[in-house]
A = this chain, B = another copy of it.
């Protein structure tokens, strides 16, 4: 362990390798203009002394940071965690570092963009699952930092997402195809996020209409995101005089909560009531919950790829948008409509 001595600089490496600092820099950065032999020598010396370029100095001199900001609402939720993990993975493989910003609430987020901690700290920022206001975006652009969105809605900057409307249709159409005519919806909103028209909600209404089923306002309840809220929402649905034979939940977590209520009430799933969610959360498998699978990891990977592109060609690839497909996963929480027990 001879490397306890003062930290080596690129100049030391250059000297040890018998080259100039310029050459050493080029060699270490895998830049052109160095003969293969020289490069080998420099790399060997560097390796031997466990030397690595100081990112700070490098960043200062080169004007790039080699860092990407990752802004995400609730890192403790499966969806975001998975997304982040995947993005980090491909970015790191590309030699970039990821600066994490867990910005939960609306205010936090505003403040984040306000202070622009990202300023001079990152080359680009990836925003997961929520829209960036136009003013914010322009500011970032002005500062020269690229911006990419993952798992959110359509936007004017490069982004990757799923089609919420299609996903919703896959869920609701499944229920309809099983013969259900009385379908409840548990609409989930995030109180911390700006309200926006949800494709998942539109899908419900449109699907019913297409099937010629008359809308019944009583059958749609709105609640906050999160399992426990789903449980409470389900209770409201069950208290209806004409309770639905099937329920469409905006997410698996909400569905899980609803399932608890159903089970506690003594009703059986799916015999007495069918339920379908969206996401294909790992928990769905354990719950035997029918759901619509959305490729979270793939979205993350695609978003990271977008960042890499942006950094490579400095030219913004014209508002690129990637929409990934979803698909229904049938498990044991849905079945055809039960024969009406009550003699009408």
Q: Which residues of A contact B (CB under 8 A)?
A: 1, 3-4, 7, 50, 52, 54-57, 59-60, 65, 67, 70, 74-78, 80-82, 84-85, 88-89, 92, 97-102, 115-117, 119-121, 142, 227-228, 231, 256-257, 259-260, 264, 282-283, 285-288
Contact = CB atoms under 8 A, between A and B. Distances in A.
Nearest to A80: B81
A195 B272 CA distance: 46
A102 B67 CA distance: 15
A48 B67 CA distance: 27
Nearest to A98: B100
Nearest to A58: B56
A80 B128 CA distance: 18
Contact of A286 (B57, B60, B100, B260): B260
Contacts of A80: 81
B78 A84 contact: no
Given A75-B84, A81-B77, A256-B286, A102 B89 contact: yes
6 contacts: A7-B120, A52-B120, A55-B120, A56-B60, A89-B102, A92-B117
A117 to B, nearest CB: 7
Contact of A116 (B1, B50, B119, B288): B50
Contact of A283 (B70, B256, B288): B256
A91 to B, nearest CB: 10
Number of copies: 2
A334 B48 CA distance: 60
Contact of A76 (B81, B102, B120, B260): B81
Contact of A100 (B74, B76, B84, B283): B84
A55 B102 CA distance: 20
A54 B120 contact: yes
A120 B74 contact: no
Given A98-B100, A282-B227, A116 B52 contact: yes
B50 A60 contact: no
Contacts of A116: 50, 52
Given A52-B116, A286-B256, A288-B260, A102 B88 contact: yes
A231 B54 contact: no
Identify which of A54, A89, A100, A119 gathers the most chain B CB atoms within 10 Å of its CB. Answer: A100
A257 B283 CA distance: 9
A304 to B, nearest CB: 12
Identify which of A70, A74, A102, A286 gathers the most chain B CB atoms within 10 Å of its CB. Answer: A286
A290 to B, nearest CB: 14
Contacts of A92: 101-102, 117
B227 A285 contact: yes
Which 7 residue pairs spanning A and B have beta carbons closest together? A56-B59, A81-B81, A76-B81, A76-B82, A75-B85, A100-B100, A56-B60
A60 to B, nearest CB: 4
Contacts of A256: 283, 286
Given A81-B77, A227-B282, A286-B260, A70 B100 contact: yes
A137 to B, nearest CB: 13
Contacts of A119: 52
